[in-house]
């Protein structure tokens, strides 16, 4: 199988279902940002972190491929007139969101209470988490814009929202594990 197809040489690309759209289309921006997020999560997973976090990150990467597939599908081509799904695309389920919440609760139970916002940084691995969190928030903003224009699966929006929270808590957990200095943001009084 060749990687290059030459079909995008004129600035368009095909969605699942065959519809061609410009490469700057909000749908492409949405799933492209999810792909970028997935790469950042791979970078976190490649660090010296605990096995449970690595296991959850692999699971998240799998779910992000599902999110990307959902966002890359033309909604008009996804369902046949009979009401059956034309494309065999997995779904994001409530259980996927609950897993992130459960993992956050478990990590938070072992962390000191948060009394202030924290400045990103303290250790390279922690910084990677904060970068991934920011990319996740961008993916969420783009997906919500897409949702306003062409409604998409509500679980995708919920998953991205919860994932950014998970990445923040993971950054705090890794700061704790790595004994990195977590600098509180305390606004200076004028």
Cα-based torsion angle of the residue sequence 56, 57, 59, 65 in order, rounded to the nearest 10 degrees: 160
- 116-168 pLDDT, tens digit per residue, is 888 899 999 999 999 999 999 999 999 999 999 998 899 999 999 999 999 99
Task: Answer yes or no: is 7 within a domain.
Answer: no
Task: Answer yes or no: is 138 within a domain.
Answer: yes
Task: Answer yes or no: is 187 within a domain.
Answer: no
The confidence score (pLDDT) of residue 151 equals: 87
- 18-59 pLDDT, tens digit per residue, is 777 767 889 999 999 999 999 999 999 999 999 999 999 999
CATH number where 43 lies:
1.20.1200.10
Q: How many domains would you assign to the chain? A: 1
Task: Answer yes or no: is 5 within a domain.
Answer: no
Task: Answer yes or no: is 13 within a domain.
Answer: no
Tokens standing for residue 150 = 């062409």
Task: Answer yes or no: is 9 within a domain.
Answer: no
Out of 8-12, 14-18, 54-58, 83-87, the most confident range is: 54-58
pTM of the model: 0.90
Give the range of the structural domain holding residue 146, as residue numbers without chain letter.
Answer: 18-178
Residue 172, CA atoms < 13 Å, CB-side half-sphere? 22
Quote the mean pLDDT of the chain.
Answer: 90
Task: Answer yes or no: is 188 within a domain.
Answer: no
Q: In the structure, what pLDDT confidence band is assigned to residue 81 with cuts at 50, 70 and 90?
A: low
Task: Answer yes or no: is 2 within a domain.
Answer: no
């Amino acid at each position: 199988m060749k990687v290059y197809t030459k079909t995008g040489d004129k600035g368009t690309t095909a969605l699942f279902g065959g519809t061609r759209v410009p490469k700057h289309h909000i749908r492409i921006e949405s799933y492209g940002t999810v792909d970028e997020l997935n790469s950042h999560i791979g970078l976190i997973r490649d660090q010296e972190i605990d096995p449970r976090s690595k296991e959850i990150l692999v699971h998240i990467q799998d779910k992000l491929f599902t999110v990307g597939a959902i966002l890359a599908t033309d909604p008009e081509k996804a369902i046949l007139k009979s009401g059956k799904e034309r494309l065999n695309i997995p779904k994001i389920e409530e259980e996927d969101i609950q897993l992130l919440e459960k993992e956050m609760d478990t990590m938070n139970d072992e962390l000191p209470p948060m009394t202030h916002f924290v400045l990103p940084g303290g250790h390279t691995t922690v910084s990677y988490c904060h970068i991934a969190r920011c990319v996740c928030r961008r993916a969420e903003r783009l997906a919500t814009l897409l949702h306003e224009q062409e409604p998409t699966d509500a679980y995708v929006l919920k998953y991205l929202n919860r994932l950014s929270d998970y990445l923040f808590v993971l950054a705090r957990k890794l700061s704790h594990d790595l004994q990195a200095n977590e600098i509180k943001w305390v606004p200076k009084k004028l």
